């Protein structure tokens, strides 16, 4: 009897919720998030504005809803980039001869050492702040840990007898990757993607907070935190909302990743004879 | 009666992996538990020493030296483990702490259960290294597990298990991972030490010839149940249960080709 | 008659990781000057304890590794052959661990079919898959199953079926029954034994278990720390072993006690 995987359920629900909000943003928001009404500046949550208004009188709830777009789009696209790049590098290095593998691993290690934010700042300085710059920076930075983990997993798969059997069956390297390595990596990739999503979301929020991500006027949770933080002492409820949005989404992906690992980990079997 | 097991049943959820197992073991006696993989032999021995995973639910009774073990807490069992009941495992590499010198690992039970000071415990550990047949025991005691061969590691495992002179030694496939020449030496060692200490032995294995030479009584397990429990001699000569007959026939015929070629007799 | 396999002073040395930053690499001699001849129809057993070099030898014979010195020839040609596919069609292998010798994500049919696809076999693939499974005593309905649904013995038989798919002339089996339960061992051993009689296969069995060798082989090669210490007919070597390593191996084999009511 499998124990109830509550981590997976909670994680999936939170992620599902975030995605629902994201989809909702295309159809309906209580107010136009960009509409400025200076007379309503910083009103507390009320029946009219459930989460209150920001310093420019913009409805916070609407901004949170539309802000999910920046977050999730950046997260999804950068995760796609980092997975494609990371898995390709991971598989390629694991199967290369030593003289190719060693310098490549060294390169990945260097990339790992670079903080995402630093890379983004460099790229932004060159190309100007935008969603795409953030996406590329995060995607590149995250490809390093993915490459490292993938490389280790592939090396362990390569030790299995069924890979040796594939070689004696005449299978070439490309076929071995296609038929033997990738299918057995699937579980690990799902887990890695969930973890990478959580980091990507946090990274995007950080970049926006610092002014290097999605530029105004497009709503973004990170930038909202930056502009509302000055009211932290006086009225903490304002920066709380975007902060909460970030926490819930990041937590959701983290729990999803943990839950998937629990569900898919074949080593968590009971001890037998 | 040193050990009395009655109606031992171990479950993982709805899965019954040990089914109503009962046997006795007197002081100085040796019992073999034989069966194929999945038969429940290891889980039975883990139940006795109290090392079943948390997800297992246990019923029945295990009385060791007059005390019901299944009622004991983990803390209370810890007092028995390595002290009155010792266990040797199959895989010497994973049973030892890779980061601790083997002498210290032997010293641990001595310090915990006998309250010995480190120096005294380490000295005794070196003596035990010699006792389990390791050459140059002082040097050996300072080694790390990965520096030793499989056979040497298993001897260390024995030294740890026997450090406090337990009345019961449980050996779970202790030689299955070893080369056949090393296996012979380690089996002789277990035999000798158990005799010297006067301990009882529970010997778990899938290898019938090995069990046959090490024990006086054998329990044949299959699908979690004991299908036959008899004196070793009786079991080999006239097995009653169909499954035992299959096992013995297979072991004999596997021997035959080899023995015929080698013109050797049986032991 | 050309020998199937011939090795000349075959050596394989492995470089060990450096223990000091600027020191030289230590090396480990896994195989030293092995001269081996395998003729068609032979049933050779390669025996040794761990570290004896048996698996290294198997990998060299299969062309999965390159010797440090010496050579391996197949039917007179030195490995690696120009046409490795042809070599692989003729020389196949079965490995030890039934748990890892089959890809957990592939069905039995796909597993057995793989050599047919990779080696450009012209016969009908599905017919060949069925025949191979039948040759190991498995029925067609196992085709759709996955490895985790099979028992250890069934998995090992699927592995043998995969090896038979390309109609090889020689089969190398590395510890084919060591990881199996005793009762299952008999079944699989019987399958392997039948292959030589029914299909005329040349067999090389690698094992540490002399009883398995006794049942399956007529010639034996004993390895110890990379060196061939003894070789010859199984009957001769078992009966009168000349080298002390062989003598110890034979003496250490655990034997069943004599039955009291034996004649």
User: Per-residue pLDDT for C263 more than 80?
Assistant: no
pLDDT > 90 fraction of chain B, expressed in percent and rounded = 56
Total domains in the fold of chain A: 1
What's the confidence (pLDDT) of residue A73?
87
In this prediction, residue A126 carries a pLDDT of 85
User: In the prediction, which pLDDT does C46 show?
Assistant: 94
Q: Smallest Cβ distance to B262: which of C181, C215, C250?
A: C250
**A48: in domain:** no
Q: What is the mean pLDDT of chain A?
A: 84
Number of inter-chain CB pairs under 8 A, A vs C: 59
pLDDT of residue B10: 93
3-state secondary structure of C28: strand
d(CA A182, CA A163): 12
- Local confidence band at A268 (pLDDT 50, 70, 90 cut-offs): very low
Mean pLDDT, rounded, for C208-223:
92
Sheet containing strand B225-231, edge to edge, reads: B85-88, B168-172, B200-205, B30-34, B217-222, B225-231
pLDDT band at residue A273 under the 50/70/90 scheme: very low
- Confidence band of A220 (pLDDT split at 50, 70, 90): confident
Among candidates C33, C58, C258, which has minimal Cα distance to C172?
C58
| Domains in chain C: ranges and CATH | 5-16+25-252 (3.40.50.300)
- Of A1, A3, A273, nearest to B39 by CB-CB distance is A273
In this complex, is the C-beta atom of A268 within 8 Å of any C-beta atom belonging to chain B? no
Q: For the segment B69-90, what is each residue's pLDDT rounded down to a tens digit?
A: 988 888 888 888 888 999 998 8
Instruction: Look over chain C and give the mean of its residue pLDDT values, rounded to a whole number.
Output: 89
- Closest-CA distance of chain C to residue B266, Å: 5
- Give pLDDT, residue C109: 94
CATH number reported for the structural domain that contains residue A210 in this entry: 1.10.3720.10
Share of chain A above pLDDT 70, in %: 95
Contact C119/A169, CB-based, under 8 Å? yes
Q: Verify whether the Cβ–Cβ distance C252 to B180 is below 8 Å.
A: yes
Helix locations, chain C, DSSP H? 54-61, 84-90, 108-118, 125-135, 152-164, 182-199, 210-216, 234-239, 244-252
**3-class DSSP assignment, residue C160:** helix
Mean pLDDT taken over chain B: 90
**From A270, A272, A273, residue closest to B55, measured CB to CB:** A270
Whether the link from the prior residue into A217 is cis, omega within 30° of 0, is: yes
Burial state string for A81-91 with b = 16 or more CB within 10 A and e = fewer than 16 = bbbebbbebbb
> Per the CB < 8 Å rule, is A183 touching C105?
yes
* Per-residue pLDDT tens digits for A28-73: 888 887 888 888 788 888 887 888 888 888 888 888 888 888 888 8
Q: Does C162 touch chain A (CB under 8 A)?
A: yes
Q: What is the pLDDT of residues A115-126, one digit of tens each?
A: 777 777 788 778
pLDDT at position A7 is 87
Determine, yes or no, domain membership for A212. Answer: yes
> Shortest Cα distance from C192 to chain A (angstroms)?
18
Of A146-150, B212-216, C6-10, give the lowest mean pLDDT range. Answer: C6-10
Residue C259 has what pLDDT? Answer: 63
The pLDDT of residue A58 is 84
Alpha-carbon distance of B130 to B252, in angstroms, equals 37
Closest partner CB to A168 (pick from C88, C104, C106): C88
- Substitution target in C84, C103, C162, C178 with the highest count of A β-carbons within 10 Å is C103
What pLDDT is attached to residue A269? 39
pLDDT on residue A4: 66
- Give the separation between CA B33 and CA A238, rounded to whole angstroms: 69
Is pLDDT of C147 > 70?
yes
Mean pLDDT of A220-232: 84
Can you give the pLDDT at residue A238?
A: 83
Which chain C residues touch B257 with a CB distance below 8 Å? Answer: 211, 214-215
Do the chains contact at C234 and B261, CB–CB below 8 Å?
yes
pLDDT of residue B266: 62
Q: Tally Cβ neighbours within 10 Å of residue A165.
A: 25
CA pair distance A147, C67, nearest whole angstrom:
32
- B3-256 is classed CATH 3.90.1280.10: no
Name A227's Cβ contacts closer than 8 Å, sequence gap at least 6.
A54, A55
Cα gap B45→B32, rounded to integer Å: 11
Would an 8 Å CB–CB cutoff place A106 in contact with chain C?
no
Give contacts of B12 with chain A, Cβ < 8 Å. Answer: 1, 270
Average pLDDT over residues A119-134: 80
ipTM: 0.86
pTM beyond 0.90: no
Which of B257, B260, B265 is the mutation pick for testing C, counting most C CBs within 10 A? Answer: B257
Regions of chain B where pLDDT drops below 50: none
The residue of chain A with its CA nearest to that of B204 is A273
Q: Which of residues 227-256 of C touch B (CB under 8 A)?
A: 234-235, 238-239, 248-256
pLDDT reading at C63 higher than 60? yes
Quick check: is A122 in a domain? yes
CA distance C118 to chain B (A): 36
Q: How far apart are CA C81 and CA C77, in angstroms?
A: 7
For A249, the domain range is 6-33+53-264
Query: Would the pLDDT of C1 be above 70?
Result: no
Query: Would you say residue A42 lies in a domain?
Result: no
DSSP A59: B
Give the H/E segment covering residue C147: none
Q: What are the b/e assignments for B159-190, b being 16+ CB within 10 Å?
A: bbbbbbebbbbbbbbbbebbbbbbbbbbbebb
């Amino acid at each position: 009897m499998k124990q109830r995987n509550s981590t997976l359920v909670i994680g999936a629900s939170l992620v599902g919720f975030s995605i629902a909000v994201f989809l909702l943003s295309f159809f309906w928001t209580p107010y136009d998030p960009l509409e400025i009404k200076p007379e309503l500046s910083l009103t507390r949550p009320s029946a009219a504005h459930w989460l209150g208004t920001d310093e420019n009188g913009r409805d916070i709830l609407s901004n949170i809803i539309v802000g999910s777009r920046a977050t999730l789009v950046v997260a999804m696209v950068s995760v796609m980039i980092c997975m494609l790049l990371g898995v390709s590098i991971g598989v390629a290095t694991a199967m290369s001869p030593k003289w190719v593998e060693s310098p490549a691993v060294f390169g990945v290690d260097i990339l790992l050492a670079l903080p995402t934010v630093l890379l983004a700042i460099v790229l932004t300085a060159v190309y100007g702040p935008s969603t795409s710059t953030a996406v590329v920076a995060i995607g590149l930075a995250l490809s390093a840990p993915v490459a490292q983990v993938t490389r280790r997993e592939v090396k362990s798969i390569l030790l299995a007898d069924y890979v040796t059997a594939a070689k004696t069956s005449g299978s070439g390297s490309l076929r071995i990757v296609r038929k033997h390595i990738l299918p057995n990596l699937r579980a690990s990739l799902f887990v890695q993607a969930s973890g990478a999503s959580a980091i990507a979301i946090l990274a995007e929020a950080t970049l926006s907070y610092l002014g290097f991500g999605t530029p105004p006027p497009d709503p973004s949770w990170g930038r909202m935190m930056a502009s509302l933080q000055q009211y932290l002492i006086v009225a903490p409820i304002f920066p709380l909302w975007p902060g909460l949005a970030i926490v819930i989404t990041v937590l959701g992906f983290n729990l999803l990743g943990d839950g998937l690992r629990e569900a898919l980990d074949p080593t968590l079997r009971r001890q037998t004879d | 009666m040193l050990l009395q097991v009655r109606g031992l049943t171990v479950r993982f959820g709805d899965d019954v992996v040990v089914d109503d197992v009962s046997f006795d073991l007197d002081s100085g006696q040796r019992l073999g538990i034989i069966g194929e993989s999945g038969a429940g032999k290891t889980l039975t021995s883990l139940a006795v020493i109290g090392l079943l995973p948390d997800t297992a639910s246990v019923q029945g009774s295990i009385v060791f030296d007059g005390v019901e073990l299944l009622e004991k807490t983990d803390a209370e069992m810890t007092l028995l483990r390595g002290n009155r009941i010792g266990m040797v495992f199959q895989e010497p590499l994973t049973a030892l702490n890779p980061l601790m010198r083997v002498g210290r690992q032997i010293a641990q039970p001595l310090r915990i259960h006998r309250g010995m000071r480190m120096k005294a415990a380490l000295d005794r550990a070196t003596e035990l290294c010699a006792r389990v047949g390791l050459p140059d025991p002082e040097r050996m005691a300072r080694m790390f597990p990965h520096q030793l061969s499989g056979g040497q590691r298993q001897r260390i495992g024995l030294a740890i298990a026997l450090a406090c002179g337990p009345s019961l030694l449980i050996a779970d496939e202790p030689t299955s991972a070893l080369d056949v020449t090393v296996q012979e030496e380690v089996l002789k060692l277990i035999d000798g030490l158990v005799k010297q200490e006067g301990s009882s032995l529970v010997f778990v294995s899938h290898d019938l010839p090995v069990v046959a030479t090490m024990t006086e009584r054998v329990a044949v397990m299959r699908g979690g149940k004991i299908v036959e429990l008899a004196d070793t001699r009786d079991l080999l000569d006239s097995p009653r249960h169909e499954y035992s007959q299959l096992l013995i026939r297979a072991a004999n015929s596997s021997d035959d080709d080899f023995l015929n070629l080698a013109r050797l007799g049986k032991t | 008659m050309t020998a199937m396999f011939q090795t000349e002073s075959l050596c394989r040395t492995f470089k060990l990781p450096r223990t000091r930053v600027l020191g030289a690499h230590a090396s480990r001699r896994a195989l030293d000057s092995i001269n081996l001849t395998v003729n068609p129809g032979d049933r050779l057993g390669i025996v040794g304890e761990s570290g004896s070099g048996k698996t290294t030898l198997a990998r060299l014979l299969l062309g999965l590794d390159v010797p440090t010195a010496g050579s391996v020839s197949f039917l007179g040609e030195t490995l690696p052959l120009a046409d490795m596919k042809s070599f692989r069609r003729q020389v196949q292998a079965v490995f030890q661990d039934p748990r890892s010798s089959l890809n957990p994500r592939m069905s039995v049919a796909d597993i057995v079919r793989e050599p047919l696809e990779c080696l450009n076999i012209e016969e009908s693939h599905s017919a060949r898959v069925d025949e191979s499974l039948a040759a190991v005593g498995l029925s067609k309905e196992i085709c759709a199953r996955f490895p985790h649904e099979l028992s250890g013995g069934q998995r090992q038989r699927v592995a043998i079926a995969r090896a038979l798919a390309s109609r090889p002339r020689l089969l190398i089996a590395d510890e084919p029954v060591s990881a199996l339960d005793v009762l299952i061992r008999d079944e699989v051993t019987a399958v392997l034994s039948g292959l030589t009689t029914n299909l005329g296969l040349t067999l090389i069995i690698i094992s540490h278990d002399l009883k398995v060798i006794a049942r399956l082989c007529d010639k034996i090669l004993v390895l110890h720390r990379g060196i061939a210490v003894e070789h010859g007919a199984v009957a001769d070597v078992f009966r009168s072993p000349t080298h002390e390593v062989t003598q110890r191996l034979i003496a250490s084999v655990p034997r069943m006690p004599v039955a009291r009511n034996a004649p």
